């Protein structure tokens, strides 16, 4: 038994930006379930008190086929998933159901709670996939994505906007759970704006293609998210010659009394020659003492006001007279 304060701390942890992954066994349906603790406020699934013990194959829901956590887990032509044999019957209080069990009961539910997140798996039989029972299933990818979603990995967010260049075209993709048609604003390198319509594709992706009118950086926004795409040569002028050389600056350095040095030869000694002297030699480099300065402002402030000086002087005279009188 854990103290109720422990669960209160977990509740504060989640609402403050933390995350919890819960894999439920039969104890979740019992009277002392963690659903009967302060965590009830953030747990997405409420137990009904019964357990299903018939074999079933976890299935993607319609939402699960579009959600990045479970999207693509079912590969065309791949072997069918193995069965699980136990699940806590439940009903969803608030959350996104990505996997379902027997009778379309929620199996994997995700939920945002405050600043944090919760993932709840209503079965403790995922280990059957790990052992390869009846062929197993994609347990590693399922758990990895679930945990990374809890950690707010950008690639697993339900809504995302991306763009890439394809020759002289810009391809814009917008991922959402609805996958509906959307409009984005494309700002060109010269600041001009154009509107691009994104048409629905499979699995919640809407896509559009735009012909770039000039080379440069294009900024794409849907009003909430923003991304960029570049058109033009991959390597600019600064990447045309990437081999290390001192030929480009050597002549300029020598004409101004300086020199060039290779770090592989060791760091040169630092000297301080006069302004007219040569600033480089064999194994040394100079930082000329120019003694340059500029006065920006002059301010004068009296140490003490006049009356204070008068009082101080009078006090010194009185002290001197007293000592002399003795």
How many angstroms separate the CA atoms of 232 and 236, rounded? 9
Give the CATH fold of the 160-231 domain: Immunoglobulin-like (2.60.40)
- Cβ atoms of 36 and 1 within 8 Å: the answer is no
53's CB contacts (< 8 A; 6+ apart) are: 85, 86
Partners of 113 in beta bridges: 116
**Region(s) of the chain under CATH 3.40.50.880:** 4-155
Distances (CA, A) of 27 to 51, 84, 95, 119, 252: 10, 17, 21, 17, 79
Q: Which two tokens stand for residue 288?
A: 């000329």
CATH 3.40.50.2300 fits 4-155, yes or no: no
- Regions of the chain where pLDDT drops below 50: none
pTM: 0.65
How many angstroms separate the CA atoms of 77 and 236, rounded? 44
Residue in 108, 124, 90, 114 with CA at minimum distance from that of residue 41: 114
pLDDT of 214 reads 87
- Residue the block writes with tokens 């959600």: 67
pLDDT of 237 reads 60
Q: Which two tokens stand for residue 148?
A: 């990374």
What is the number of alpha carbons within 13 Å of residue 26 lying toward its C-beta? 5
**Region(s) of the chain under CATH 2.60.40.10:** 160-231
pLDDT of 323 reads 83
Q: In the chain, at which residue ranges do the beta strands (DSSP E only) sit?
A: 19-23, 45-52, 59-60, 87-92, 96-100, 106-113, 116-121, 160-166, 169-175, 182-187, 193-200, 205-211, 216-221, 226-231, 269-271, 280-281, 284-286
How many angstroms separate the CA atoms of 139 and 88, rounded? 19
The helices-and-strands tally (H runs, E runs) of the chain is: 5, 17
pLDDT of 244 reads 80
pLDDT of 235 reads 56
pLDDT of 268 reads 87
């Amino acid at each position: 038994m854990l103290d109720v304060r422990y669960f209160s701390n977990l509740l504060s942890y989640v609402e403050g930006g933390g995350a919890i992954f819960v894999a439920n066994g039969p104890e979740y349906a019992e009277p002392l379930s963690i659903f009967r603790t302060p965590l009830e406020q953030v747990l997405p699934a409420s137990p009904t008190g019964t357990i299903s013990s018939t074999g079933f194959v976890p299935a993607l829901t319609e939402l699960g086929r579009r959600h990045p956590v479970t999207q693509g887990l079912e590969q065309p032509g791949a072997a069918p998933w193995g069965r699980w044999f136990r699940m806590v019957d439940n009903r969803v209080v608030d959350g996104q159901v990505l996997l379902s069990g027997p009778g379309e009961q929620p199996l994997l539910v995700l939920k945002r709670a405050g600043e944090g997140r919760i993932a709840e798996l209503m079965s403790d039989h995922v280990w059957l996939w790990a052992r390869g029972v009846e062929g197993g299933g994609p347990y590693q990818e399922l758990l990895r994505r679930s945990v990374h979603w809890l950690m707010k990995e950008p690639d697993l967010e339900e809504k995302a906007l991306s763009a890439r260049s394809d020759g002289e075209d810009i391809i814009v993709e917008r991922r959402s759970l609805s996958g509906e048609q959307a409009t984005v604003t494309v700002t060109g390198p010269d600041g001009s704006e154009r509107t691009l319509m994104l048409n629905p594709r499979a699995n919640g992706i809407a896509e559009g293609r735009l012909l770039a009118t000039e080379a440069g950086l294009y900024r794409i926004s849907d009003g909430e998210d923003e991304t960029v795409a570049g058109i033009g040569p991959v390597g600019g002028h600064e990447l045309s010659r990437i081999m290390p050389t001192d030929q480009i600056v050597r002549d300029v350095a020598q004409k101004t009394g300086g020199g060039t040095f290779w770090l592989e030869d060791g760091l040169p000694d630092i000297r301080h020659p006069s302004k007219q002297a040569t600033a480089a030699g064999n194994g040394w480099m100079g930082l000329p003492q120019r003694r340059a300065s500029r006065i920006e402002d002059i301010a004068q402030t009296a140490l003490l006001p006049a009356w204070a000086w008068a009082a101080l002087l009078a006090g010194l005279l009185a002290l001197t007279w007293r000592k002399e009188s003795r």
